[in-house]
Structure 1
Amino acid sequence: MSTGLIIALIVIVAAVVVVAAVLTSRARGAHGGRNLKRRFGPEYDRTLARHDGDAQAAERELAERVERHGSLRERALEPAQREQFEARWTAAQERFVDSPREAVAEADRLLSELAAVRGFPAGGYEEQLEAISVHHGHHVHGYRHVHSVARVGAGGRDGDRADTEELREAMVEARALFEDLTSPIHHADDRSTTPASTRASGRSHLPFALNRRHVKGS
C-alpha cells in the first residue's frame, strides 16, 4: 500500500471521527435541552427570554443550577410543622380581604421559612429561589412574584406600589408553590409534571378572600 493511500485513509478516518463527535454532541445537547425543559417547565421559558432566545446560554445557566443544587435532598415536614404552616397560610389568605399588602408580605415570609425547613438554602432570597427552581421549576415563579410584589408594597422599588389585583395574582401563584412545599416529597421530574391542585388532594381551594368581588381596595 502506497504512502499516499495510507495518508488518504487516515484523513478519511479522522474526518469520520470528527463528524461522529459533532453529531453525538448535538444529540446530547438536544436531549439535555429536552430534559431541562421538562424539569424546569415555565422557568425554562423565562430563562430563555432573559437570554433573548439564546437556547445555549439559557440551558448553560439552568444546567449550572442543577449542578449546584440538584443533589439537594428535601426534608419531609413533620405533621405538626405542616399544620402550623397551613394554619398560617390560611390566616394570611383571610387577612387579604382587609389588608392585602400585609397578607402578601406574610406569604413571602412563609415561603422563605417553609423552604428553609424543607432544606433549601436560608442564606438569601436569590440563592434560595435558584435552588427551589431546580426542584419546583413549574411553580417557583409564585415565590418570585410574591417576593417582588411584597418589595414593591414596602416601597422597595423606587416607592412604587402594586395594585390590589396584582397582589391577588401574586397570592394565587404563591399558593401553588406553597402546596408543592407542603406536599409529600416526590422525585423532581414526577412532581413537576403534576399540577399542585391535583397533588394536594383533599385540600380546600382558595378561600373567598382572594375572589375579586370580595377584596377591598388597597
Structure 2
Amino acid sequence: MSTGLIIAIVIVAAVVVVAAVLAAARSRSSSPHGLKRRFGPEYERVVAQHGGDTKAAEQELTERVQRHGDLHERPLESAERERYAARWTTAQEHFVDSPQQSVTEIDRLLAEVAAARGFPAGAEYEDQVAALSVHHADHVDGYRRLHRVAQEPMGGASQSRAGTEEMRTAMIEARSLFDDLITPSAGGAGRHRAGVGADTGGHLPWSADRSRPKES
C-alpha cells in the first residue's frame, strides 16, 4: 500500500471521528437534561412562557442551539474593555438626575458590547438575545428587563419613585451580563464568571433616591 493511500485513509478516518464527536456533542446539548444544564434559569423561563409545555420549550431552545451554538465570541482588547467600563460608569453617575436617559444609554451599551463580541447586532434585538441566551444563559434575563424598561419611557414630572426603583433594579441585574461580556475568561465560557464589579456585592455604588447619600 502506497504512502499516499495510507495518508488519505488516515485523513478520512480523522474526519469521520471528528464528525461523530460533534454529532454526539450536539445530541447531548439537545437532550432535555442537556438543555436544562446549559440554559439553567432560562430553561424554566421558556417553559413558563410556553405555559408549562416542556416539549415546545425544548424545541425552541434546541433551535437556538442549532442557530447560535457554534458562535465564537471575539475577545475584547484591553482598551475596548476600559472604554466600555468607562461608559457604564458615566451612565451610572447620571442615573440620579436622569434615570430614564441612564437606562436607555446602558441598554444601548449592552447591545453594542454584545455586537463587539460577535453576537447579532443590537438592531436585531430578539436574535441577539436568543444568541446571548445560548452562551450567557445565567445573565441574559437582566438584559431583557433593562431593555423592556428602556423601551417604556415614564415621563419626567410624572415619574414615580416605584418606576425609578424598577429602573435601578434593572440596571443592577443587567450589570451581571455586562461584566460577563467584558471580563476576560481563561476558559472562554461566559457562564458563572465573577464580574468586574463583583466587589460591590451585587449593588451599584449609588442610590436612586436623592434623600439617601451615595454609597462609598
Q: In which range does the TM-score fall when normalised by the shorter chain? A: 0.7 to 0.9
Task: Give the share of equivalent positions with the same residue, in percent.
Answer: 53
Quick one: which amino acid aligns to residue 142 of structure 1? G
Q: Contact 1:142/1:177 (CA < 8 Å) preserved in 2? A: yes
Structure 2: tracts of 5 or more residues without a match: 1-26
Aligned to 1:118: 117
Match of 1:200 among 182, 195, 201: 195
Aligned to 1:166: 166
Quick one: which amino acid aligns to residue 119 of structure 1? G
Q: Contact 1:40/1:134 (CA < 8 Å) preserved in 2? A: yes
1:28-62 CA-to-partner distances (Å, cap 9, x unmatched) read 89981121112111111110001111111101100
In 2, Cα distance between the equivalents of 1:201 and 1:178? 9
1:151 and 2:151 are equivalent in the alignment: yes
Q: Contact 2:179/2:197 (CA < 8 Å) preserved in 1? A: no
In 2, Cα distance between the equivalents of 1:215 and 1:131? 39
Give the Å deviation of 1:154. 6.6
Give the Å deviation of 1:215. 8.6
Aligned to 1:129: 129
| Change over 3 Å in CA distance of 1:84–1:64 after alignment to 2 | same
In 2, Cα distance between the equivalents of 1:215 and 1:120? 38
Deviates more, 1:53-62 or 1:28-37: 28-37
Q: Secondary structure at the match of 1:209?
A: coil
Aligned to 1:19: none
Aligned to 2:19: none
Give the Å deviation of 1:165. 1.2
Q: Contact 2:29/2:38 (CA < 8 Å) preserved in 1? A: no
Quick one: which amino acid aligns to residue 208 of structure 1? P
1:209 and 2:206 are equivalent in the alignment: yes
Tell me how large the CA RMSD over aligned residues is. Answer: 2.7
Specify which structure has the bigger relative contact order, considering alpha-carbon pairs within 8 angstroms and separated by 6 or more residues: 1
In 2, Cα distance between the equivalents of 1:129 and 1:187? 19
Quick one: which amino acid aligns to residue 176 of structure 1? S
Aligned to 1:23: none
Spell out the pairing of 1:30-41 with structure 2 (5 A cutoff): 32-41=31-40
Quick one: which amino acid aligns to residue 209 of structure 1? W
Q: Secondary structure at the match of 1:163?
A: helix
In 2, Cα distance between the equivalents of 1:127 and 1:210? 33
Give the Å deviation of 1:178. 0.3
1:116-168 CA-to-partner distances (Å, cap 9, x unmatched) read 0000011411111111110001100111111000001278xxxx987011101
Q: Contact 2:38/2:134 (CA < 8 Å) preserved in 1? A: yes
Structure 1: tracts of 5 or more residues without a match: 1-27
In 2, Cα distance between the equivalents of 1:73 and 1:135? 10
Spell out the pairing of 1:13-28 with structure 2 (5 A cutoff): none
Number of residue equivalences: 179
